[in-house]
Structure 1
Amino acid sequence: MPYTVAALYKFVTVEDPAALREALAASFVEGELLGTILIATEGVNGTVAAADPAVIDRLLAFLHERLGLDRAEVKFSSADDAPFGRLKFKVKNAVLTFRGVEVDPNRPGTYVEAADWNALLADPEVLLVDTRNDYEVEAGTFQGAIDPHLTKFSEFVDYTREHLDATKHKKVAMFCTGGIRCEKASAYLLQQGFENVYHLRGGILKYLEDIPTSDSLWQGDCFVFDRRRGVGHDHFEEGE
């Protein structure tokens, strides 16, 4: 049975994360929906799957009504089998932690649409940085991307301090799986004085969804945190 997989996130103030968790748990049951959604005062982040696409539609309508989540920002893919074993709604202190550094995720760098990504990378002045963990980079990455060799995202702070220079690196472009890590990383770089910071809107998943294989600069698989372990262009259905 094919499953529709939806990867989503939104940085938005959630006044009562526990109440939102209870509302979600009351509206969706394990079996019809699988996966995990993290909830914090800074927003939501998660990947879910359902055999019935109408269940995904209902979830997205719920999150649009409660949080203003835009369906156009959701990344859709497919799986032949259930990619998750359970359904979890979890309240966290943050949906994405940054080691000892306060970052305002609502003031990120410049979004670059998937359709414009190749043109940006053709600029020789652009420094391209992969903000994912080392084992994710090993599975696949963009041509010419720098691997910071992170074991966890919070180490990006140390990498920036040790290897990036706002006076030297005038244009920095970043990407990650679904967009949330590079969005927060771009906000951090701006806070550190970097002038031109770009990040791939929707991340690798959106790029694989929108860009045909013949035009792709992606090499290898995109590591995902579910039973599929990795996805490529063939996991994304045209028109989703």
Structure 2
Amino acid sequence: MQLYNKLSKEELKEQLEAETFKRKTISFYRYVQIGEPQEFRDNLFQTWNHLNCKGRIYIAKEGINAQMSIPEQNLDAFFLQLNNIAELKDMPIKWAVEDNGKSFYKLIIKVRPKIVADGLDDSAFDVTNVGKHLNALEFHNQIGKEDTIVIDMRNHYESEVGHFEHAICPDVDTFREEIEMVVKAFDQEKDKKFLLYCTGGIRCEKASAYLRHHGFEDVNQLHGGIIAYAQEIKQVGIESKFRGKNFVFDERLGESINKEVIAKCHQCGKPCDTHTNCANDDCHLLFIQCDECREHYNACCTDECKEIIALPIKERIQLRSKFHDKYSKSQIYRQRIRPKLQEIRIKAKG
């Protein structure tokens, strides 16, 4: 009984590239009580692996959060199986806006304490007391109205490449930072109408409940998130109020909503919204890089990283060991990675 991937990353990617059929990328989530998350996870892996599904799925006692790639010929079987599971029956599905079928190269299903790492103490507030769900048109029509505050509940690297008009986009790295910042920043404006949005809607479930817990009166959230908004607005032929690209957490790293590029290369400042990870694995910084800078810096974020990846592997290992022995992962981010990102972003803005 296979419950985990057994092939290497390279082998899995080769298999994906060799496929002659099309895939569809979907996402879904649900807060629902799951009694035995590990057993639930193992059963899903067997079934979805048999259907040649790829993706990243998190299971917890509180529910499921999934982003998946499914062969077109197996879609009917997949949804039939999904509806046969009581906890997942009649699941609302969000379809990718731009889909090349290469969003995931392997199937990963993990059991976690939460389906979103929000850093919040769920016992401290009523997580079911969420805001009002607005459909795409309702959300669209409310943007720009007086005494209405639109807040992007995503991290800075997501909102930098795309966001709604009039949206406030906090420069934060984590959901926990953002939600606490919002509560503090708008403490004197709790009587106004708040519109929250995120990628697929899941983060807004917790965010809206947290704001209501802290006395915010009129809290609303975009049902289905940016993904659902893009699909629904397109269907009715209305010009999108979301500008730029929707960042996604898969191999694509983004899907354009209105074909507009609103971000800049972090190294030269030219219009660009292509995210990449620094080729120096000991840095692996996520940043925006144009094709010309990618060639110049050898896919690295700085000259320092470019020099490091040019070193013999033995010297790189020695540098890595020395650095990681001295600092924890959180220290590495706070002391090196985050300041480096801020520096190159400021440089790009001129």
Query: Taking structure 1 as the reference length, what is the TM-score of the superposition?
Result: 0.88
CA distance in 2, matches of 1:220, 1:233: 6
Q: CA separation of 1:219/1:22 partners in 2, compared to 1, >3 Å: closer, same or farther?
A: same
CA contact (8 A) 1:127 1:169 kept: no
Equivalent position SS for 1:149: coil
CA distance in 2, matches of 1:138, 1:44: 28
Q: Which structure carries more relative contact order (alpha carbon 8 Å, separation 6+)? A: 1
Find 2:133's aligned residue among 111, 121, 133.
Answer: 111
CA distance in 1, matches of 2:120, 2:257: 37
Name the % identity.
31
How many residues of Structure 1 are paired with residues of Structure 2 in the alignment?
233
Q: 2:243 aligns to what?
A: 219
Q: CA separation of 1:100/1:174 partners in 2, compared to 1, >3 Å: closer, same or farther?
A: closer
Cα distance, 1:31 vs structure 2: 7.3
Equivalent position SS for 2:168: coil
Q: 2:78 aligns to what?
A: 59
Structure 2 residue 102 is the aligned partner of structure 1 residue 82: yes
Letter of the 1:196 partner, please give it. Answer: D
Q: 2:29 aligns to what?
A: 9
Q: 1:232 aligns to what?
A: 256
Judge which range, 201-210 or 79-88, deviates more.
79-88
Q: 1:25 aligns to what?
A: 45
Q: CA separation of 1:180/1:208 partners in 2, compared to 1, >3 Å: closer, same or farther?
A: same
Alignment of 1:160-239 (within 5 A): 160-165=182-187, 167-212=189-234, 214-233=238-257
- Deviations 1:19-39 (Å, cap 9, x if unpaired)? 110110121217710001100
CA contact (8 A) 1:133 1:151 kept: yes
CA distance in 2, matches of 1:168, 1:38: 33
Cα distance, 1:153 vs structure 2: 1.2
Higher helix share: 2
Judge which range, 139-148 or 45-54, deviates more.
45-54
- Deviations 1:99-158 (Å, cap 9, x if unpaired)? 242254432100000122111214211110000010000110000000111201121232
CA contact (8 A) 1:166 1:195 kept: no
CA contact (8 A) 2:155 2:172 kept: yes
Q: CA separation of 1:136/1:167 partners in 2, compared to 1, >3 Å: closer, same or farther?
A: closer
Q: Which runs of 5+ in 2 are unaligned?
A: 1-20, 260-350
CA distance in 2, matches of 1:31, 1:118: 37
CA contact (8 A) 1:30 1:87 kept: no
Cα distance, 1:3 vs structure 2: 1.9
Q: CA separation of 1:234/1:123 partners in 2, compared to 1, >3 Å: closer, same or farther?
A: closer
CA distance in 2, matches of 1:234, 1:173: 21
- Deviations 1:85-111 (Å, cap 9, x if unpaired)? 110111000011332422544321000
Q: CA separation of 1:49/1:101 partners in 2, compared to 1, >3 Å: closer, same or farther?
A: same
Higher strand share: 1
Which has the greater radius of gyration?
A: 2
Equivalent position SS for 1:211: helix
Q: 1:238 aligns to what?
A: none
Cα distance, 1:177 vs structure 2: 0.3
Q: CA separation of 1:74/1:53 partners in 2, compared to 1, >3 Å: closer, same or farther?
A: farther
Cα distance, 1:228 vs structure 2: 1.4
CA distance in 1, matches of 2:163, 2:50: 33
Cα distance, 1:168 vs structure 2: 4.1
CA contact (8 A) 1:98 1:157 kept: no
Equivalent position SS for 1:186: helix
Cα distance, 1:199 vs structure 2: 0.4
Query: Taking structure 2 as the reference length, what is the TM-score of the superposition?
Result: 0.62
CA distance in 1, matches of 2:101, 2:167: 32
Please give the root-mean-square deviation of Cα atoms over the aligned residues, in Å. Answer: 2.2
Cα distance, 1:159 vs structure 2: 0.7
CA contact (8 A) 1:120 1:126 kept: yes
Q: CA separation of 1:100/1:80 partners in 2, compared to 1, >3 Å: closer, same or farther?
A: closer
Q: 1:147 aligns to what?
A: 169
